[in-house]
């Protein structure tokens, strides 16, 4: 029954989040696109386009089962190819370069031999780093983690720094957040306790992100800011296609390609050897795209 309980939560959370984001955007509604997995199960992709704030975004639910490919089975170090997976994955690409890109997901995986774990996280990718907002965002992540264990935030914050990292460019994708994977039942934590943490992470997302949208949605910008946004979106694409585990898992398990690549922006750019002007706002943003920044005490 635990599997069914988790799946029911994921379905309900998708509906909640769609409503919260529609209300915040105020200019467009999410369209529903139901699909079936080739082996078993399926999902619902909820897509928003050309909203008042959101240029393109998705809130995707899936609950699928089948067999892992031999290569993916080896990577996961799993003895049984049978699997069940359910979760919600979110990516938002705003029109304005003053409103950050964001990503979150919560997921549950269960192998055929009964091994089960949760994963997920929330991270923020501002086109221009606002130190006050980065600090407030991390304070929200620290608060939700502290409700469950004092080690969670420092551990999962570092995990996000290491994971959301374009190694080939030696820069983080954004200002990070929290990331966790393979949260199993242990002597210290039951699987139900892990689930309670994942639920709280899920519900922390909308308040944290919509607050930033509402603070920034009317800020002025020009052509220079739009061009920088396209370049930063290009970096986002590089990460998702080269490193992102969710993308790799979806492709390896015969997932629906439109839902998997929902995370990519409508427009992006790659400018040869682009170098921001010294002292510019763009150069200042690059200064903060580094690992191990203590955002809770950063000077603003």
Cα(260)–Cα(247) distance, rounded to whole angstroms?
6
Cβ(208)–Cβ(137) under 8 Å?
yes
Average pLDDT of the segment spanning 265-286: 96
pLDDT tens digit sequence for 90-111: 999 999 999 999 999 999 999 8
pLDDT tens digit sequence for 189-235: 999 999 999 999 999 999 999 999 999 999 999 999 999 999 999 99
pLDDT tens digit sequence for 148-184: 999 999 999 999 999 999 999 999 999 999 999 999 9
Q: Please report where in the chains the tokens 């997995």 appear, as a residue.
A: 37
Buried b (16+ CB within 10 A) or exposed e, 15-31: eebbebbbebbeebebe
Number of domains making up the chain = 1
Cα(199)–Cα(181) distance, rounded to whole angstroms?
15
Q: Is residue 297 part of a domain?
A: no
As annotated, the active-site residues are: 103
Q: Is residue 295 part of a domain?
A: no
pLDDT the model gives residue 42:
92
Kindly state the tokens that stand for 29: 């509604």
Percent of the chain with pLDDT over 90: 84
Residue 61 structural domain: 2-28+35-287
Q: What is the DSSP letter of 39?
A: S
13-22, 43-52, 59-68, 162-171: segment of lowest average pLDDT: 59-68
Cα(175)–Cα(153) distance, rounded to whole angstroms?
15
Q: Is residue 298 part of a domain?
A: no
75-84, 119-128, 225-234, 280-289: segment of lowest average pLDDT: 75-84
Q: Is residue 231 part of a domain?
A: yes
Q: Find the CATH number of the domain harbouring 98.
A: 3.40.1500.10
Does residue 79 carry a pLDDT above 70?
no
Reduced to 3 DSSP states, what percent helix, strand and coil does the chain have, rounded to the nearest 5? 45, 25, 30
Please give the C-alpha separations between residue 72 and each of 75, 78, 250, in angstroms, as whole numbers.
Answer: 5, 9, 11
Q: Is residue 299 part of a domain?
A: no
Does residue 4 carry a pLDDT above 90?
yes
Q: Which of 282, 289, 239 is nearest to 264 (CA)?
A: 239
Q: Is residue 176 part of a domain?
A: yes
List, in order, residues 6 or more apart from 46 with CB less than 8 Å away.
14, 18, 30, 31, 32, 33, 58, 59, 60, 61
Q: Is residue 51 part of a domain?
A: yes
Mean pLDDT of the chain: 94
Q: Is residue 296 part of a domain?
A: no
């Amino acid at each position: 029954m635990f599997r069914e309980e988790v799946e029911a939560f994921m379905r309900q959370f998708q509906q909640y989040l769609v409503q919260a984001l529609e209300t915040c955007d105020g200019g467009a509604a999410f369209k529903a696109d139901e699909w079936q997995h080739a082996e078993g199960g399926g999902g619902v992709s909820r897509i928003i386009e050309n909203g008042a704030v959101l240029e393109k975004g998705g809130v995707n639910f899936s609950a699928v089962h089948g067999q892992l490919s031999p290569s993916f089975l080896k990577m996961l170090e799993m003895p049984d190819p049978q699997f069940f997976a359910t979760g919600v994955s979110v990516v938002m690409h705003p029109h304005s370069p003053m409103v950050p890109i964001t990503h979150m997901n919560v997921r549950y995986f269960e192998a055929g031999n009964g091994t089960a774990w949760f994963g997920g996280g929330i991270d923020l990718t501002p086109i221009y780093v606002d130190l006050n907002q980065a600090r407030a965002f991390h304070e929200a992540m620290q608060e939700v983690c502290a409700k469950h264990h004092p080690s969670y935030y420092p551990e999962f914050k570092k995990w996000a720094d290491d994971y959301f990292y374009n190694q080939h460019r030696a820069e983080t994708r954004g200002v990070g957040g929290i990331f966790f994977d393979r949260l199993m039942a242990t002597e210290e934590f039951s699987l139900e306790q892990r689930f309670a943490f994942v639920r709280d992470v899920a519900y922390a997302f909308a308040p944290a992100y919509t607050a930033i949208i509402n603070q920034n949605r009317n800020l002025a910008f020009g052509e220079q800011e739009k061009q920088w946004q396209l370049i930063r979106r290009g970096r986002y694409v590089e990460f998702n296609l080269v490193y992102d585990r969710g993308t790799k898992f979806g492709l390896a398990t015969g997932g629906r390609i439109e839902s998997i690549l929902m995370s990519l922006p409508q427009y992006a750019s790659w400018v040869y050897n682009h170098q921001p002007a010294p002292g510019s706002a763009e150069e200042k943003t690059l200064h903060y795209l580094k690992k191990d920044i203590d955002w809770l005490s950063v000077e603003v």
